[in-house]
Structure 1
Amino acid sequence: MPDASAVTAAVLDDLREESGELDLLVAGLRTHEWAVPTPAEGWTVAHQIAHLNWTDEVALTAATEPDAFAAEAEKALAAPETFVGEAAEEAVTALTPEALLVEWREGRARLQDALRAKPPGTKLPWYGPPMSVASMASARLMETWAHGQDVADALGVTRKPTARLRHVARIGVRARDYAYFVRGLQPPAERFRVELLADDGGLTVHGPEDAAQRITGPLLDFCLLVTQRAHRDDLALEAVGPDAGRWLDIAQAFAGPAGPGRPPKAGR
């Protein structure tokens, strides 16, 4: 069995690389390009980075000041539909793009240091169940990749899929039952088989090999689905079994209310 410390360090390395790739995408933008609308309604490129900066800071609070985080979580529960958007809007209004970029860089560096200082088995509070250090790093990577996809789409950039997508897929699979619960639905009792093919030919597999219901398709497409960055109709994912098919309609890899998802592309 892999050493827990090594596994956690590897996930944190991947998080750093994912953030660095997005940093390269926005670092050279001119001021007006930070105001380009993204596919998330009402959010510009600046809003996307402001949101990542805010969630990094909240994650840092969870890792270093759990009582203070509990107070933040209560605020979010009191206004789940608007809390996140208000935080992003406040930062965009208060900071220039240059200052926002500096804050995001400094904040994510502090989070890296704090998470690396924690024993791997430490449980950190979050908006859902408490998470291990590795799970927290994976969740931050998932959000960074998803919001980075919004930025890339807004700028007309096609990103090359990386092996880091396996973290996003894993969260999507593990969050299957949550996607049902958050909608007031009962999740299926049986596990599904999920087989996802990466661009390099590698296969990411979850669930029992003999499962009656299964999901197959490209790794990238599954990640776009569970982060709700693309509509199911625009993706090459196949479901065998009615419950597996239903899951593809509601899947989400993130904590919080069920998202509205993205509409199918015009003409579909």
Structure 2
Amino acid sequence: MVNYGLDLSAVERERALPDLVAEGDELDALVSAETDWSRPTPAAGWTIAHQIAHLAAAEVEAAGSEHADLDAAAGAAKPRSVLLEQWRTGRAEVAAELRDVPLHQEFPWYGARLTAELMVPLRLMETWAHGQDVFDTLGVPHRPTGRLRHVASLGVVGRELSFHAAQLPPPAEPFRVELTGPDGQTWAWGPEDAKQHVRGSALDLCLRVTHRRSLAETDLTAVGEDAQKWLDIARVFL
């Protein structure tokens, strides 16, 4: 099972679930107003319809599929109204399921197994990241919100995942990560005296760990060789 190091209590889940629902609703409002779902997005070979089909397939399976491209292509071939309704129904069903299941119940996730406590922020992360592709396609500003904290947390505590995926040994030293949230507040992880530091905007870290922006396109800075390497290879998915 992938270890993100998160410990989501029942109270925290109650806070996170409304954010998951809100993230889906925001993207829904955007794509519902767009009639041409055939427009290509930044993901090579994927249109807006592919992006929504991918999210709809993951919702239906409550976990995602190892055959994302095939699932997206199959879904994108459906009529827009059918695909939109499928996605809406799936979102509601998954939110209800994640609200009621035990936090440590396991789900399959792209070849791995994750607990329900991880599924809430992961579903939000996927919705936000694929939504970013759609916002970019339509040239609409994607206003950052406090919901990004869930995505940023996944990126920070999933640091070892980045090194594992790059086939590198995980750093032995702790990291200090300080991010500026959308409202100007500071979000921080790790000991203040850590030699490895990462600083920048929360939005830019989220864009980086979801591979929506290159490091050069962000304001992120690092002190320490391991911290710099992490920003080079950062990711929040397998």
TM-score (ref. length: structure 1): 0.82
Q: Give the secondary-structure state (helix, strand or coil) at the position aligned to 1:188.
A: coil
* Residues in 2 aligned to 1:134 and 1:211: alpha-carbon distance in whole angstroms: 28
1:168 aligns with 2:173: no
Q: Distance in 2 between matches of 1:116 and 1:210?
A: 38
In 2, the alpha carbon distance for the partners of 1:8 and 1:173 equals 19
Tell me how far apart the structure 2 counterparts of residues 174 and 252 of structure 1 sit (CA, whole Å).
11
Aligned to 1:92: 76
Deviation at 1:129, TM superposition (A): 5.4
Does residue 46 in structure 1 map to residue 30 in structure 2? Answer: no
User: Which residues of structure 1 form unaligned runs of 5+?
Assistant: 63-68, 77-82, 256-268
Q: Secondary structure at 2:37's aligned position in 1?
A: helix
Match of 2:9 in 1: 4
**Of 5, 15, 32, the match for 1:27:** 32
Query: What percentage of aligned pairs have identical amino acids?
Result: 46
Q: Which residue number corresponds to residue 237 of structure 2?
A: 254
| Corresponding residue to 2:214 among 228, 231, 238 | 231
Checking the alignment, whether the CA contact within 8 Å between 1:12 and 1:137 is kept in structure 2 is yes
**Kindly tell me: are residues 3 and 25 of structure 1, through their superposed partners in 2, closer, same or farther at Cα, counting changes over 3 Å?**
closer
1:170-209 maps to which residues of 2 (within 5 A)?
170-209=153-192
d(CA) in 1 for partners of 2:195, 2:111: 29
Distance in 2 between the 1:3 and 1:188 partners?
24
Q: Does 1:147 align with 2:147?
A: no
Distance 2:69 2:137 in 1: 18
Using the TM superposition, give the Cα deviation of residue 191 of structure 1 relative to its aligned residue in structure 2, in angstroms.
Answer: 1.7
1:65-144 pair list within 5 angstroms = 76=66, 83-93=67-77, 95-127=78-110, 130-144=113-127
Tell me which amino acid in the other structure corresponds to 1:88: A
Q: Could you tell me whether the CA contact under 8 Å between 1:195 and 1:203 is conserved in 2?
A: yes
Amino acid aligned to 1:131? L
Whether the 8 Å contact between 1:50 and 1:104 is mirrored in structure 2 is yes
Cα distance between partner residues in 2 of 1:233 and 1:3 = 33
Contact 2:198 2:223 in 1 (8 A): yes
Q: Does residue 244 of the first structure (1) align with residue 237 of the second (2)?
A: no
Kindly indicate whether residue 32 of structure 2 is the aligned counterpart of residue 36 of structure 1. Answer: no
**Helix, strand or coil: the match of 1:35?**
coil
Report what 1:262 is aligned to. none
CA 1:103–1:175: 2 relative to 1, 3 Å: same
Q: How many angstroms apart in 2 are the aligned matches of 1:174 and 1:254?
A: 12
Q: What are the superposed Cα offsets for residues 100-121 of structure 1, whole Å, 9 maximum, x if unpaired? A: 0000000111111111121234
**Cα offset for 1:204?**
0.9
Say if 1:165 and 1:219, in contact at 8 Å, map to a contact too: yes
Runs of 4+ in 1 over 4 A off after TM superposition: none
Structure 2 distance, partners of 1:133, 1:214, is 31
Q: Hey, what's the Cα distance between the residues in 1 that align with 2:186 and 2:163?
A: 26
Partner deviation per Cα, 1:36-57 (whole Å, 9 max, x = no partner): 1111111001100000111112
Counterpart-to-counterpart distance in 2, 1:3 and 1:141: 14
Q: Please, what is the CA RMSD of the aligned residues? A: 1.8
Q: Count residues with an aligned counterpart.
A: 232
Letter in 2 for 1:251: A
Secondary structure, aligned partner of 2:109? coil
What's the counterpart of residue 4 of structure 2?
A: none
The answer to whether residue 59 in structure 2 is matched with residue 56 in structure 1 is yes
**What TM-score, normalized by structure 2, do the two folds share?**
0.92
Query: Residue type matched to 1:220 in 2?
Result: L
1:264 corresponding residue in structure 2: none
Tell me which amino acid in the other structure corresponds to 1:114. Answer: E
Gap runs ≥5 in structure 2: 1-6
